[in-house]
């Protein structure tokens, strides 16, 4: 997209650190007043918005918005653990959360392998991978 390393380090990446703190606190309140499902839907929407900003963004503020949306999605993962805690019994919580973490890790690892295969074997462009992940 033509940004310098200094632009990325000083103007884009720091946004996520501050935004995630804000969203963890906000989504906690959203869970209490509206329910966990709304917070999870907001987080999924944030992850989708991240992809759209990265695909179609051209300005620094587009990528700052991308970091804010990514932080919303990351905060959702924390809230999701609390949602599982409310759904399952105390005896099953550790097993269920372990399965959820295993599924998340398995999805990230398999996505990495599929991405590597698409790039190295089929010479796909990174933009194609962004469309697939969106």
Domain spans, the chain: 1-87, 89-134
SS3 1: coil
Query: In the structure encoding, which two tokens stand for residue 127, read together?
Result: 């933009």
pLDDT at 113: 96
CA 29 – CA 1 distance, rounded (Å) = 36
For every residue of 58-72, DSSP letters joined together read -SHHHHHHHHHHHHH
Q: How far apart (Å, rounded) are the C-alpha atoms in residues 80 and 64?
A: 25
| Cα–Cα distance, 41 to 23 (Å, whole number) | 13
pLDDT of residue 116: 95
pLDDT score at 85: 86
Residues sharing a CB contact under 8 Å with residue 52, sequence separation 6 or more, in sequence order: 134
Q: What is the pLDDT of residue 58?
A: 93
Q: Print pLDDT tens along the chain (134 aa).
A: 788 999 999 999 999 989 989 998 888 888 889 888 888 899 999 999 999 999 999 999 999 999 999 999 988 888 888 888 888 999 999 999 999 999 999 999 999 999 999 999 999 998 899 888 87
The pLDDT, as a whole number, for residue 28 is 82
């Amino acid at each position: 997209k033509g940004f310098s390393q200094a632009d990325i380090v000083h103007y884009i990446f720091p946004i996520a650190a501050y935004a995630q703190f804000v969203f963890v606190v906000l989504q906690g309140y959203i869970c209490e007043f509206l329910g966990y499902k709304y917070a999870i839907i907001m987080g999924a929407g944030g992850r989708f918005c991240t992809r759209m900003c990265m695909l179609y963004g051209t300005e620094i503020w587009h990528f700052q918005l991308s970091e804010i949306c990514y932080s919303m999605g990351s905060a959702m993962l924390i809230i999701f653990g609390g949602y599982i805690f409310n759904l399952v019994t105390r005896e099953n919580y550790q097993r269920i959360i372990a399965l959820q973490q295993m599924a998340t890790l398995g999805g990230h690892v398999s996505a990495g392998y599929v991405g590597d295969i698409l790039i190295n074997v089929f010479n796909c462009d990174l933009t194609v991978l962004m469309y697939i992940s969106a």
